[in-house]
Structure 1
Amino acid sequence: MPRFALHDWLTNFIPHPGAPEWRERVRRAGGALLGIAFTGIATHLLFGSAGDIPMLVAPMGASAVLLFGASESPLAQPWSIVGGNLVSALVGVACAQWIATPVLSAAVAVALAISAMFLCRCVHPPSGAVALTAVLGGPAVHALGFRFVAVPIVFQSFALLSAALVFHALTGHRYPRAVWRSAAPENAAASALGAPMRPAQQSNAADEPQRLPFDALTCEEFMSSADHAVPLTMGRHAAWETLRRHGVHALPVVDDAHRLVGTVTHHDLANGRSAGLARRLWRVLRRKTAQADETVEAVMASGVQAVHRATPLAHLASIFADHACYEIPVLDDARRLIGVVKHSDMIRWLHQHAGAAYADAARPLAAES
């Protein structure tokens, strides 16, 4: 038994098999090339005469990996890079000036930088290197003092971010990505931990009698199967066919780990057909026609209104009313898509199970009149 446990543990070190196609790899590498070049040139043109300003700081290379190589990550979003580098630079310079021992100063700077990034909700791994650079960057960096925060850190962060925004827009890639939003109440996680969860139901809950009252139902007990979810890499033509086949208004979009990353509708797919001048020029340069190799990732809407599986069903009424949506995705603790709650199912349930109660309440009024 220990041998098998060791084998299972060692398999965790196997590299992830998923990788983008070679065109996408070239696109991302080219973006990093242009982004770093633009950042270095901009710094040199504006501050080169000063002599004490580094043309590029090493953490920008790590930031470029995220902004161009993994732009869908929450760690690569605009506030993450700008806020993370800003607070880490402030912490690093302060530690360098107030703690004389370099090793102790470096350790405290990284620890405090992580705490500050969590506090400001701007975790960005390269920012740890920013804090270290402020402490161990040598006499030139120490001479800058808190000027190191504004130039080069904040300036180069904005320059690299600007290059990423323009590059992703010109190449038809969606960036930035909206932060995942959950409509679950604050006590949903506590409810999930305090009570055992039922297995995900694959059948349509509206077709089965519910023993619990409406106010006691959770989304997991009521949800339908999310078999119409599509991967990020699905082509737009295939997405059209999936919409038509399932007869739905929107398709949930999931990543390789089946985590919800967005939705795509008829409107999104239709708008994607009319590309702007920049995208048409890019297609001509790449000698691509129409919509070959285009995926739902390029046109999907992110920032999806989703709920935790322990969310009370009654909580969804206001979401349906405020957002005019036809279905709401249901997620598990790891934010994986496990089902959907449909607007039509809720109306059908209320009609079937609550109609009798409304009718009984209306009879005395009808008799009085």
Structure 2
Amino acid sequence: MRIDMKRVLRERLPGLWRPVGMAIDRRERLRVVCGAGLGLGLAAWLSHLLAPWGAPWPWLVAPIGASTVLIFAVPASPLAQPWAVVVGNTVSAAFGVACVRALPHQPELAAALAVAGAIALMLLTRSLHPPGGAAALLMVLVGASDWRVVLAPVALNSVLLVAAGVIYNTATGRRYPHVATPAAAPPSTLETFAEADLDAVLARYNQVLDVPRDDLGELVRAAQEQAHRRRMQTLRCRDLMTPDPHAVEFGTSLQEAWALMRRHRIKALPVVDRYRHLVGIVTQADFLRHAGLDDRPGGLDGIEGRLKRLLQPTPGPRSDKPEVVGQIMTRKVRVVSAERPLADLVPLFSAGGHHHLPIIGPGNRLMGMLTQADLVAALASPGARVITIRD
């Protein structure tokens, strides 16, 4: 596959000097700094106290400083968990000692093999911990060939630092160790992704993430909810409505109006005058009510017969039943403006009992139609483009 190096450099070179943003406040920064100082100080003091008397190596190793950053600054990171810290540092230091013993006169080769082998062992033991690479390299640089250095100070430093991290992070409201929570119950139909979707994306990404899987899922959901709230406030009725909907006039026959509703599979028709000014609305419920089907239930034959009698035009100038839309329509219609936020419509549809809302513009002119199904479609797709569903 051909790689456009110019494009790659143009896109990635700014990242070499552009600092990464950190969305934490001053209180969290103070918590991290104080924890690092207290935790490392306690681990150092106890390590010095417990160090083997007369040992020719230091009682504190430098990679523990990097472990401190992970434990107190990013305690939720998989790289900062107790298993990763203790096992990662220990096996890495052990492999570094092995390289020193195997290649005592080739420090360059021993350094390269120590770091590479340490990474392989950490991946094998599921204990990837970046300071582990430094621990392996340190063994080569100081020429440590005594296996005891692996236990003290490396393993001892790691255990004591983890203990300090558990105490401090717990006391300051941070979950450490960060045990992954079990997968939640199957998502509702309103969620846009499931646990299996997240797993599939992570498998395709195929890189080590410094975020635990459960936190990543929560972050995705929280971002979706935030985007959904923002979207519901920014969306206007005009963005979701059906523009220029089918409409009828006062004198449209019932037969014609009913045929129009059946043909387009809609349950309501706005009633307008010749200038598209809204004068009412006619719904399927209006037809059923005037056909006498709301208070006299009957079988399918009875329903069809009564509707047929209602829709059949009466010959002659006189009639004892409604003949045109204007005689059965609802005159008092709840309308909303095209610029009204979509969020305002939730109580109208949920508590107000409305199923269809005509959207009007200047001069009470009909601009569009909004239904419950449209609102449900917007609610059901918080992270996607609105898909309008007609009912």
Q: When you count helix as a share of all residues, which structure comes out higher?
A: 1
User: What TM-score, normalized to structure 1?
Assistant: 0.48
Rg (Cα) greater in structure: 2
